[in-house]
Amino acid sequence: MQNFVYHNPTKIIFGAGTIDKIGEITSPVAKKVLYLYGKGSIKKNGIYEKTTVSLRKAGVQFVEYGGVKANPLLSHVRAGIELVRKEKVDAIVAVGGGSVIDEGKAIAAGVTASNDVWKFYDGSGVEVKSALPIFTVLTMSATGTEMNGGTVITNEETKQKIGIMSPFLYPVASILDPTALFSVPPDQTAYGAVDAITHLLESYFTKSESYVPIQDRFAEGIIKTITEITATMQAKPNDLDARSTFMWAATLAWNGLAPSGVGSWSAPNHLIGHSMSALYDTPHGASLSIALSGWLPWYAEQSERNANQVIQFGKAVFGVSSVDETINRFREWFHSVKSPTTLSEIGVDDSGLIKIAENIEENAPLWGLPAYTANFCESILRRCE
Amino acid sequence: MQNFVYHNPTKIIFGAGTIDKIGEITSPVAKKVLYLYGKGSIKKNGIYEKTTVSLRKAGVQFVEYGGVKANPLLSHVRAGIELVRKEKVDAIVAVGGGSVIDEGKAIAAGVTASNDVWKFYDGSGVEVKSALPIFTVLTMSATGTEMNGGTVITNEETKQKIGIMSPFLYPVASILDPTALFSVPPDQTAYGAVDAITHLLESYFTKSESYVPIQDRFAEGIIKTITEITATMQAKPNDLDARSTFMWAATLAWNGLAPSGVGSWSAPNHLIGHSMSALYDTPHGASLSIALSGWLPWYAEQSERNANQVIQFGKAVFGVSSVDETINRFREWFHSVKSPTTLSEIGVDDSGLIKIAENIEENAPLWGLPAYTANFCESILRRCE
């Protein structure tokens, strides 16, 4: 194992019926909050009602700011920062999925900064030094942002989707009520599952240590569990046990535990996927199953060490014992939950493939992956099946 | 899964060569600390030197207080509280194993309280409301106290060894340097391994939910890893990878993650073991392998659900598929690392067995286990092999 620092101060309040605790957890810290949300589905499924009643009951004023996109946009972040400055709020309450929370973090960091918020993202080296306190009510599990310091924003002008991490961007507290997931449709359910699995696989495969049994088993256990329950969530959206299990699995998948002690690692599948999303607004999870479908067979061929890792993964999760079987079973699982494994499934043709490869090359240095050139990425994407 | 709250704010600084960071992590919080340690082995293995130099370099004054026992004693805690009040220190720096850290927590809580510190432990319902900040340098892995809010103290007058948990007793930061474990002798290495395994097994078996796959796999992965590496640590005390893996495993085993979402649970093996330690000063881990050797066969017989849990455990950890094989393999593993499975191995005869059973009955209500009467515990202890 390698040296590491693990520090995750986010408080998790987990379980059915916990949504209306948002008032009592926010009120000790804030008198007035920005109430951030997305396209308004929370006004249909009762979550808006429950959370706003809870805030009012606790004496917390709130300024509403909706309209966060699935890939949250820089322009909307900037407008949010203006609003927060004007309204002088003390904290952010983000009610939604990963996008809403990520935008909440961007606003929280941008408000207290003298620089434009994009400077935190654009690779110029400007670091977040402070942020407003962030509270979240999670309505779609996938990105893990409810229990980490990460935030991903899309700059629609430069066509860049870039993520950063900061110790100042851990939510103070996050409410994880699995009943909020009952209204997540089958496609988003699959994409969330793929996202969580990919979070674990990035460090599982790319880590500098070859084999870290305690960490490998942690990842394998969560991935196996997710592959077992995703179809259940799609067939029975109100299955509390499956939704609960997934909600916790997705949080554990990207809260800093999995890569602890594995040495240096990278996130090539996220790099590849982000370019698809930036250019074609591809849902994050869908972009990741496509990326993995091309990347994993390439990766397994690079060394015996890599092949052994893939076999270890296949054995632990699918009970198979070769690279080919592992890749086949993994692609079959993606198909079974209807997450795409090829660009053609998302309507991207050959010229689009080239554009994605070129976009990856542009962003690759920011991700510490300068070897991901357009030519190389084209070859990866052509392996998707 | 059941509702839960998970909040673990302790910062972990992990890895070889991290011991001398104690000064820099302490100095932002404290100008003067209580430097707490045990029998003085840190003065032989260089840890005392490294930590005190680091504190001095960071400008942190310290008052030394050594002599913490393996089962830390209330009288020594009380004297520590007096010393801290007299010296007006801002924080506790506990350099040692679980005992030293647990005593550090007791002192930290007792100093700021108007009641006698034992009131927090004796079941009278007095709760910790505040505590001095606690920093730790871990020199023996086992109890998990470096990343939880627990503390166990032995009252030598009443012959009670009792543990409590409080959100105020999480260390601010803990340094986990696996090279500190190089000097842990084979017997203590085994006891630490048994302790960590038992921490996971308490909630694994006794939880109110029958099967929580994500949590079960978390526990199974850690236990399997510990069973694989313990003999290596005993044969090659300076094996950095084995020591690192174990150090992190033991912390993960009792930091609140394992029982998250599993519903209510209890710690019967700890209850049984604590009575052995209170009466015969049995090392904690040794008492737990004896307890499990008697408790597990009884547990498996109580219901099909229990038997299935034991089989699931045996399959995941030892690759066997029956209750008997699981218990045999588990006892064999205890023997292989030289942790006892019978009272006679620790020199306790039949009259001692009865005394232990009676002591358990006295403490059982405090542990929420009133069914653990002297008669019942006698029958459990007679199953040890």
Domains of chain B from N-terminus onward: 11-179 (3.40.50.1970), 184-381 (1.20.1090.10)
Q: Is B235 exposed, middle or buried (0-12, 13-18, 19+ CB in 10 A)?
A: exposed
pLDDT band at B51 (very low <50, low <70, confident <90, very high): very high
A67-A69-A75-A77 Cα dihedral, nearest 10 degrees? 70
B-chain residues near A3 (CB < 8 A): 14-18
d(CA A13, nearest CA chain B) in Å: 5
* Closest to B284 (Cα-Cα) out of B122, B134, B147, B153: B153
Q: Look up residue B11 and give its two tokens.
A: 């910062």
Phi (first) and psi of residue B155, to 5 degrees: -90, 105
Give B249-275 pLDDT, tens digit per residue: 999 999 999 999 999 999 999 999 999
DSSP state of B281: -
**In three state form, how does the secondary structure of B190-216 look?**
HHHHHHHHHHHHHHHHHCCCCCCHHHH
Which among B214, B222, B228 has the least Cβ separation from residue A222?
A: B214
Q: How far is A244 from chain B (nearest CA, A)?
A: 6
A206-237: string of b/e by CB count within 10 Å (b at 16+)?
A: bbebeebbbbbbbbbbbbbbbbebbbbbbeeb
E strand or H helix at B230, and its extent? helix B213-235
Among the listed residues B289, B302, B300, B342, the one whose alpha carbon sits nearest the alpha carbon of residue B325:
B300
CB nearest A4 (choices: B3, B14, B221):
B14
- How big is the A-B interface in CB pairs under 8 Å? 110
Looking at chain A, which residue has its C-alpha nearest residue B209? A241
Q: Do A217 and B212 touch (CB under 8 A)?
A: no
Q: What is the pTM of this model?
A: 0.96
Task: Give the model confidence (pLDDT) of A31-75 as tens digits.
Answer: 999 999 999 999 999 999 999 999 999 999 999 999 999 889 999
**CB-CB under 8 Å, B222 with A214:** yes
CB A103 within 8 A of CB A111: no
* ipTM field: 0.96
Cβ of A245 within 8 Å of Cβ of B220? The answer is: no
All residues of chain A having their beta carbon less than 8 Å from the beta carbon of residue B7 are: 9-12
pLDDT in tens, A269-302: 999 999 999 899 899 999 999 999 999 999 999 9
The pLDDT-based confidence of B171 (bands split at 50, 70, 90) is very high
Average pLDDT over residues A218-247: 98
Running DSSP on this structure, what letter comes out for residue B70? S
How many residues make up chain A in this entry?
385
| A221 to B222: CB separation less than 8 angstroms, yes or no | no
What is the pLDDT confidence band of residue A159, given thresholds at 50, 70 and 90? confident
Q: Which amino acid is at A33?
A: V
Mean pLDDT of A22-29: 98
Residues of A in contact with B3 (CB under 8 A): 14-18
* Structure letter (DSSP) for residue B146: G
Which residue from B1, B7, B224 is facing A11, i.e. has the nearest CB?
B7
Overall average pLDDT of the A169-191 stretch: 97
Nearest Cα to Cα of residue B290 among B338, B258, B251: B338
Residue written as tokens 């990343």? B147
- Going by pLDDT thresholds of 50, 70 and 90, the confidence category of residue B160 is confident
pLDDT of A324 strictly over 90: yes
Q: Which of A52, A30, A115, A56 is nearest to A81 (CA)?
A: A115
The DSSP element (H or E) to which B5 belongs, if any, is strand B4-6
| Amino acid of residue B377 | C
Residue A51 sits at φ, ψ, to 5 deg, of -75, -40
Chain A residues close to B197, C-beta within 8 Å: none
